[in-house]
Amino acid sequence: MGGPILFGVRHLSPAAAYHLRGALDAAQPELVLVEGPSDLNDQMKWLCHPDTQFPAAIMAYTKEPPVRTILYPFAVYSPEIQAILWAHEHKVECRFMDLPSSVFLGIKPWFAPVTEEDDTGEDDGDAGEARPEEEAPTTESVYKRLETLTGEDHDTFWERTFEQIEGGPDFQAANNTFGRQLRAATVDDQRRMAETIVREAYMKRVIAQAIASGISPEKIFCVCGSFHVAGLETNQPMTDEEEAALPRADSCVTLMPYSYYRLSSRSGYGAGNKAPAYFELLWDALNRGGPGETAYLYLTHLAAAHRKAGNLTSSAEVIEAVRLADTLAAMRGSKYPTLSDLRDASVTTMGHGSFSELALAAADTEIGKKIGFLPEGVARTSVQEDFYRQLKELRLEKFRTAELQRLDLDLREKLNVKSEQAALGDLRRSFFLHRLRVLGVHFANLLPSRQDGANWGEYWELRWTPEAEIEIVESALMGETIEGAAAFSLKERADSSGSIAEAAAIFQDAFLCGMPAAAAHALSVLQGLSVDSAAISEVAETASRLSLVVRYGDLRRFDPTPVIPLIKQLYLRSCLTLTDACVCDTKAAPEVTRAMDQLNALQLNHDFLEEARWLDLLADISDRDDLNTRCSGFAMAILLERGKADEALLSREVARRLSPGVPADLGAGWFEGLAGKNRYALIARLSLWRQLDDYLSGLDDETFRRALVFLRRAFADFSPSEKNDIAENLGEIWGVTPQQAAEVLMNDITETEQAVLDSLGEFDFDDI
C-alpha cells in the first residue's frame, strides 16, 4: 500500500496550478489536503463562490493588542486555489492541513512569519539570531549561488526551468526533486527549522487522522510547498500531547480582497512574484494552448497599454518583438521566451532601446491594477461591515480601485434637494473620510485647500489598497463601527497628550470628524493642560486651531460656544507673554514671528478679542530696542498692514533702525522682520528703498558684507515677480538697469554668507 500523493508546488506558479489539475484528474482522490491553516476550512466556500474574483486573501489577526496578523493571499493561478476549486467542482472533500492560524499567531513572536516564506525555500526575513561569520548554506545563500551560476534572477530561472515543462508527471517529479535537493543543500537557523518541523509534524498528523478515518492513503492528495515534500515523506506525525502543548492566540479570521500590486515584489511580500499580471497571462496561455502562447499575449497587451498611454506602436514592431524574443530564448537555452526575453525584445523594438519609453505599459502588463472582489455575505468584522455599508450609502464605491482618483467636496448645505441626507451629502462624506484618517486607514489623502479662506471646499485623493483593508480590520479592536473606533482612538490620544498643542490637534480632528462628544473630551483635556506654562508658538498654534472651529463650526453643524472662553484665555496669555518671548536669539525669532502672525489673524477673525490690547502690544514691541530686532520689524509690518502706522512713523523707524550707530546685523535683521508681511506695500514705497540704499552706502566694507547677508536672506522668500519689482526700484535709485540690480537679489546665499549667519545664532539680546 503506497502513501498519499504529495504534489509539491511553488506558490503563485501557473504551471504548478495547471499540472496540479491534471494530476487531480488522473488520481481522482477522495480527499484533497491543501497547505493552509486547518482552522480556516469554513472560508473555502467563499473562495469557491462564483462571484469571488481573485486576488483575495485570508487574514487572521489577534483580538488583543498589539495586533498581529498573518495573510494567505491567492491569485487565480495559485495551485492551492486550483486544488480547492477542483475539489469543489468534483464534489470531493477538501481541507487545509497546516497549523491553525491561532497557533501561527501564538508562535509568531518567536518564529518568522509564514506569509514571508515561499515554501520552495524563498524567505525575505530571518527570525533567528545572528549567525557566525562562517555561515552554513541557507535558502537565501543557495538561491544567490544559483543566480550566480545561471546569470539570471530566481524568478527567471524558475520560469525558464519549470514553468515551461509541458508534461504533468515530469513537472511533479521535477518540482518535488527541486524541493528535496534545496532542503538537503540548506541548513537554516534553528528557529526557522523548528517551525518547519512543527508544521510538517502537524500536516503529517492530519494525514494520519484521514487514514485512520478509513480513507485509503492512495486516495489522499496533498498539495504543499515542494520544500515540505521530503519532510512529509520521512517525519513522524505530531502526537496528541504535542498538539495540546502548542501555543495559541485568541484570534479572528476574515476574507479580504487583495491586489496584484501587493503580490508584486515592489510591495515587499516575500512569497509573491515580480509580475503577477504577467503570470496570469502565462496561466491563460497554458489553458489556451501551452506556454508558447505567452509571448503573443504579453506583447499584444503591452502594445495596447503603450498605445493607451498615447504612444505609437505598429503591428510590425509587435511581430518583430515576437521573433526577437524567440531568438533570445533559444540563445539562453529555453524552448519558449520568458518575461526577461520578452521585455528585452519589446524594449528593442517598441521602446527604441529605452525601457523608460515602455515603463508605464510594462507596469500595467506585468504588475497590473487588478483588485479582487468578494460577494455579499462574506464573514467580516463589524467595522468592515460598517465601512462597506457607508461606502455604498455615501456613493464612494467607485473609488475602491487601485487607480488614484480625485474627490472634491462642497461642505455647504445644498438647498435644491429634498432630503437632509442629500443636502449634507458632501459633509457626511467628509466626516467619514476624516474618521478613516484618524484611524490610520490609508484610503483617502486630504489635499491642501485650493482657495485661501474658502473652507467650504475639501479636496481628497482616494486609492484602495489591501493595506487599507488590514487597517480597517485592526480598527475592530477599538470599536464596533468606524465612528466608535474613531471615538476610542481620539479619547486614547487625548488622555495621553502632554501638551496643549497635542490636545488642540486632537480637538480639531474630532471637529473635522463631526464628533461633538470626542471634541468635548479633548477640550476638557486641553483646558487642564492650558494652566501649565507653554511656549508662545504652542499657545498661538493652539488658539489658531480653536479659531478654526469657531469660524467654521456652523458649516460642520458644530456648536463652538464652549470653545470661545478658552480662546479668550489663550489670547490674554499670549498678550502677557509675547514681549518676553521677543527676547530671543536669531534662530528662535522665526518661530516667534510666526506666532505673532497667528495671533494677529486670531484677533482679526474674532470681535470678542480686545483689539486695543493687541495694537498697544505691537506698538510697544515695535518701539523697543532691547528685543530681537526681527520681532520688532515684524511688529511694525503688522501695524502697517492694519493701517495703524503712517508714512512718517515708518520713515522715523527706518532712519532709527538703519543708521550708522546701529550694528549692521541688528539693522538688517529689523528690515528682514519688516519684509515678512505686506510686501507689495513696502515695494511701492520708493522712499523706503532710498533710505535702505543710503544706509548701505554709509557702511564700511566689512559691515556692508555682514548687512548684505541678512538682506539677501530677507529677500530669499520673495517671489521672482516681487524681486523684479524691487530691482526696478533699486535700478532707478542706482541709475542701472533692473536686470543689473536683480543680480544682487536673485543670487542664492553662499557658504561664506551662511557661515556668518550661523555665527550669529547665539546672539543674546539681553546684552543690548
Count the residues in the chain: 768
The cell numbers describing 475, all together, are 480598527
Q: Please give the pLDDT value at position 69.
A: 80
CB 436 within 8 A of CB 424: no
Q: Retrieve residue 664's grid coordinates.
A: 549692521
Q: How far is CA 333 from the centre of its chain?
A: 41
pLDDT tens digit string along 420-452? 777 788 999 999 999 999 999 999 999 987 655
d(C-alpha 758, C-alpha 527), whole Å: 39
Report field, pTM of the whole predicted structure over 0.75: no
At 5-27, the pLDDT tens digits run 999 999 899 999 999 999 999 99
| Distance, CA of 700 to CA of 703 (rounded, Å) | 5
Return the pLDDT at 321. 95
Nearest to 255 by CA among 91, 54, 112: 54
pLDDT digits (tens, 9 = 90+) for 184-223: 887 766 777 888 899 999 999 999 999 999 999 999 999 9
Q: Say what the pLDDT of residue 686 is.
A: 65
pLDDT at 746 over 60: no
What are the strands, taking DSSP E only, across 195-342? 220-225, 251-257
Within 10 angstroms of residue 14's Cβ, the number of other Cβ atoms is 29
- Number of helices (H), then strands (E), in the chain: 36, 10
Beta strands across the sheet bearing 69-74: 69-74, 56-62, 251-257
Residue pair 528/522 in contact (Cβ under 8 Å)? The answer is no
Would you state the pLDDT for residue 207? 96
Burial of 679 (0-12, 13-18, 19+ CB in 10 A): middle
| Identity of the amino acid at 130 | A
* Whole-number pLDDT of residue 132: 41
| Per-residue model confidence as pLDDT tens digits over 577-600 | 999 999 998 889 999 999 999 999
Among 329, 327, 16, residue whose Cα is nearest residue 165? 16
Contact between 98 and 205 (Cβ < 8 Å): no
- Of 128, 224, 133, give the one whose Cα is nearest residue 175: 224
Percent of the chain with pLDDT over 70: 84
| SS3 label, residue 740 | helix
CB atoms near residue 569 (< 10 Å): 15
> What is the SS3 string spanning 308-332?
HCCCCCCHHHHHHHHHHHHHHHHHC
When pLDDT is cut at 50, 70 and 90, the band that residue 299 belongs to is very high
**pLDDT-based confidence at residue 751 (cuts at 50, 70, 90):** low
Number of other CB atoms surrounding residue 616 within 10 Å: 12
Residue 112: the pLDDT is 44
The whole-angstrom separation of Cα 551 and Cα 546 is 9
User: Which helix (DSSP H) or strand (DSSP E) does residue 406 occupy?
Assistant: strand 405-410
- 457 or 739, which is more confident: 457
pLDDT of residue 390: 94
Please give the distance of CA 249 from its chain centroid, rounded to a whole number.
29
pLDDT at site 744: 57
Question: Minimum mean pLDDT among 425-434, 452-461, 566-575, 753-762: which range?
Answer: 753-762
- Tell me: pLDDT of 540 over 80: yes
Give the 3-state secondary structure percentages of the chain, helix then strand then coil, rounded to 5: 60, 10, 30
Residue 480 has pLDDT above 50, yes or no: yes
C-beta separation of 695 from 732 below 8 A: no
> What is the mean pLDDT of the segment spanning 501-519?
93
Q: Edge to edge, what strands does the sheet with 220-225 contain?
A: 5-9, 220-225, 31-37, 93-98
Q: What is the pLDDT of residue 408?
A: 93
Give the pLDDT confidence of 229-249 residue by residue, as tens digits: 999 998 899 999 999 999 999
Task: Name the grid cell of 320.
Answer: 518583430
Residue identified by cell 504652542 is 538
Average pLDDT, the chain: 84
568 within 8 A of 623, measured Cβ to Cβ: no
pLDDT category at 120 given cuts 50, 70, 90 is very low
Q: What is the pLDDT of residues 76-118, one digit of tens each?
A: 999 999 999 999 999 999 999 999 999 999 887 554 444 333 4
CA neighbours closer than 13 Å in the CB half-sphere of residue 598: 24
Q: What is the 3-state secondary structure (H, E, C) of 674-720?
A: HCCCCHHHHHCCHHHHHHHHHHHHCCCHHHHHHHHHHHHHHHHCCCH
Of the candidate ranges 205-209, 676-680, 738-742, the one whose mean pLDDT is the lowest: 738-742
Per-residue pLDDT tens digits for 133-185: 445 677 777 778 888 888 888 888 889 999 999 888 999 999 899 988 888 88
CB of 362 closer than 8 Å to CB of 389: no
Q: d(Cα 402, Cα 424) in Å, to the nearest integer?
A: 28
CB–CB of 221/5 below 8 Å? Answer: yes
In whole angstroms, what is the distance from residue 545 CA to residue 22 CA?
A: 66
Mean of the pLDDT values across residues 53-81? 87
Q: For the residues 662-670, what does the mean pLDDT come to?
A: 80
CA-CA distances (angstroms) from residue 326 to 302, 316, 344, 493? 17, 16, 11, 61
Amino acid in position 514: G
Residue 435 has a pLDDT of: 96
Q: What is the rounded CA–CA span in Å between residue 240 and residue 99?
A: 14
Q: What is the mean pLDDT of residues 693-704?
A: 70
| Mean pLDDT of the 258-280 span | 76
Residue 742 has which C-alpha cell?
Answer: 536683480
pLDDT of residue 592: 95
CA distance 34 to 223: 5
Q: What is the pLDDT of residue 143?
A: 78
Q: Is the pLDDT of residue 526 over 80?
A: yes
Least Cα distance to 602 among 528, 640, 594, 590 occurs for 594
- Judge contact between 596 and 624, C-beta under 8 A: no
The x, y and z cell numbers of residue 45, run together, are 466556500
| Total Cβ atoms within 10 A of residue 270 | 15
More confident residue, 463 or 125: 463
Mean pLDDT of 501-526: 93
Rounded to whole angstroms, the Cα distance separating 739 from 9 reads: 72
